[in-house]
Amino acid sequence: MNKTLSSFLSFLVTLLTPIILILLGIRILLTPIFPEIEYRMPGFPPDSYGFSQEERLKYAKVSIEYLNNDAGPEFLGDLTFDDDSPLYKDREVSHMLDVKILIQVALKVWGGAFGLLILLGIWAKLGKWEQAFRLGAKRGGWLTLILTGTLAIIASIDFWEFFAQFHHLFFEGDTWIFLYSDTLIRLFPMRLWQDAFIMEGIIVIGGGLALALGLKVQRE
């Protein structure tokens, strides 16, 4: 019975590990640090419609803040340029609301998964199944590397198609497609999403490698 329970615990830890690492990467990207780094990357394209780097940083940080706070869509809808024209069109505000809802759900899943992992750690300690817990985390690291590597290969073949299919999966119709002159595209061009995917990969692969290669497990 104890062996069955320890194996079940290890299995749960393995499944939770990639969820936690992938969503951790997303959480890190949802900070003001990301645009600070991204807009200063060599070769990052300037805004052909006139935003300076300072304006891009200002508006991008406000947009990211909206995704993290509890404010309604008016938070973005009330933003204006110096001439009092709206920063975002209604369609852009609507899409950002969809993104906010998705992100809020993802962060709740991340918090729940992390909380469950802590409970499993306590259970492992009480049941003297620490090695089963470590084995689950180690396997979870390998699983994370396999999943991330597979996605990286798919994305490298045709990033635009990967990007489009991702949006079709989570958003309705063409609600995520905008003009190059729209504020969302001016702030978050395709280059930014490519770099975000690379940074996400570095974070997740780093965590996966640390667990897969760094954890030492003794057979019980």
What does the pLDDT read at residue 6? Answer: 87
Residue 193: which of 167, 157, 163, 149 has the closest Cα?
A: 163
CB contact burial 191-210 (16+ within 10 A = b; e otherwise): ebeebbbebbbebbbebbee
Structural domain contains residue 146: yes
Task: Please report the pLDDT score of residue 127 as a whole number.
Answer: 87
Whether residue 201 is contained in a domain is answered as yes
- For residue 218, the model assigns a pLDDT of 75
Assess contact for 171 and 97: CB atoms under 8 A: no
Residue at 219 is within a domain: no
Return the pLDDT at 1. 55
Structural domain includes residue 220: no
The count of structural domains within the chain is 1
Q: Residue 152 region, left (φ>0) first, then alpha (ψ -120 to 50), else beta? A: alpha
Torsion of CA 194, 199, 204, 206, to 10 degrees: 140
**What pLDDT was estimated at residue 219?**
65
d(CA 112, CA 28): 17
pLDDT of residue 215: 87
Residue 79 covered by a domain = yes
Question: Helices 190-214 and 2-29 meet at what angle, rounded to 10?
Answer: 150
- Per the structure, the complete domain to which residue 16 belongs is given by 2-214
Q: Give the pLDDT of residue 217.
A: 80
**Sign of torsion over alpha carbons 100, 102, 108, 113:** negative
Whether 128 maps to a domain, the answer reads yes
What pLDDT does residue 3 have? 79
Query: Position 52: which residue type?
Result: S
Has residue 69 been placed in a domain? Answer: yes
User: What are the residue ranges in the chain where pLDDT is below 70?
Assistant: 1, 219-220
The reported pLDDT for the residue numbered 54 is 94
Closest CA to 204 of 18, 38, 29, 35: 18
Q: Please say whether the beta carbons of 53 and 44 come within 8 A.
A: no
Residue 157 within any structural domain of the chain: yes
